[in-house]
A and B are shown apart, each in its own frame.
Chain A
Amino acid sequence: MQPDWIMGLLGGLLIGTAGAIMLLGNGKIMGASGIIGGLVDGSGRSDRFDRILFLAGVVLLPLVLMRFVGTPDTHVTGNLAVLVTAGLLVGLGTRIANGCTSGHGVCGISRLSLRGIVATVFYILAGGLTVVLFRHILGVI
């Protein structure tokens, strides 16, 4: 495999291309939390098949790559309390803020949206402080 930063850049370009296809093709802003959330709370009922097919692509391609390239390590924590708390926070937070790393981060920053930039600053600051607190001070993660 290539150095991490080259793979990161390459993967990022693919993610951005996916967003460009959604925008120029379907006229939609590609946000993972919005696509999933619309299915969960029923607000995205009118285009539910678009959402389901998008998510099917997100799951299926790594599944195919896994066969030919290999299974990457995810290093997801086994701590149940951390998993459930984090999952709830991510689900609640992204829907209250109306976006996550893809919607506010990638799609928002790329058009210099104030909301996208502010959201990104807040979730990175909160994420950084959380890692420092729980890893270096409390030693939980």
Chain B
Amino acid sequence: MRLILSFIAGALFGTGLYLSGMTDTDKVQGWLDIFGDWDPTLAFVMGGAILPMAIAWRVTRRARAPLVGGAFPVPADPEVDRRLVIGSTLFGMGWGLSGLCPGPAVASLSFGGTEGVVFLIAMLAGMFLAPGVKLRLDRASPAE
């Protein structure tokens, strides 16, 4: 059951990325580029995606457990730390440079050509290095 639901969710996610045009880096960079020919599409995608999720979060308050059992995820510590700010800034720089974030990078694998594959390999390398960098970040700030 868990595996089937994962596949269905992945399939809907991929279809959504494909239909919304978020696999087109021009649309993403066009949205970020407020001084160029601004493309509002991404805001509609975000808005459209937040709606069903907001309903789902409300349901978790009433429902006892997820369909497959277990427990609903406990919201993370609300603390905003250096990791969150530094990581998001680095991610934003890469996102702006390429117009790709992790979801669309995977979804466009089948039609993105070799460029998409190069990006994906570099992204996987970055993810592989991240735990080490995280430790260094924490060591650099003994206050935390």
Contacts and interface: CB of A to CB of B under 8 A. Distances in A.
Contacts of B40: 5
A96 B21 contact: no
B9 to A, nearest CB: 4
A71 B6 contact: no
B92 A96 contact: no
Contacts of B54: 110-111
A104 B84 CA distance: 10
Contacts of B46: 12, 105-106, 109
Interface in A47-62: 47, 49-51, 53-62
Contacts, number: 485
Contact of A135 (B33, B41, B119): B33
What band does the interface of chain A fall in when counting residues whose beta carbon is under 8 Å from B?
Answer: 35 or more
B133 A114 contact: no
B15 A85 contact: no
A111 B55 CA distance: 9
Contacts of A66: 110-111
B43 to A, nearest CB: 8
Interface in A90-141: 90-98, 100-102, 104-107, 109-111, 113-115, 118-120, 122-132, 134-136, 141
Contacts of A61: 10-12, 14-15, 18
Given A12-B20, A19-B9, A89-B97, 16 more contacts: A11-B15, A11-B45, A23-B53, A58-B17, A58-B107, A59-B107, A61-B10, A62-B107, A65-B18, A77-B115, A82-B97, A92-B90, A93-B86, A93-B92, A119-B87, A123-B88
Sorted nearest first, the 6 A-B pairs with minimum C-beta distance are A91-B126, A12-B48, A11-B20, A87-B122, A57-B10, A97-B87
Interface string B1-14: 11101111111111
A107 B6 contact: no
B91 A87 contact: no
11 contacts: A12-B50, A19-B53, A25-B68, A26-B67, A27-B68, A86-B98, A97-B91, A98-B83, A101-B95, A106-B49, A127-B32
Nearest to A13: B48
A126 B96 contact: yes
Contacts of A62: 14-15, 17-18, 23, 107-108, 110-111
A5 B32 contact: no
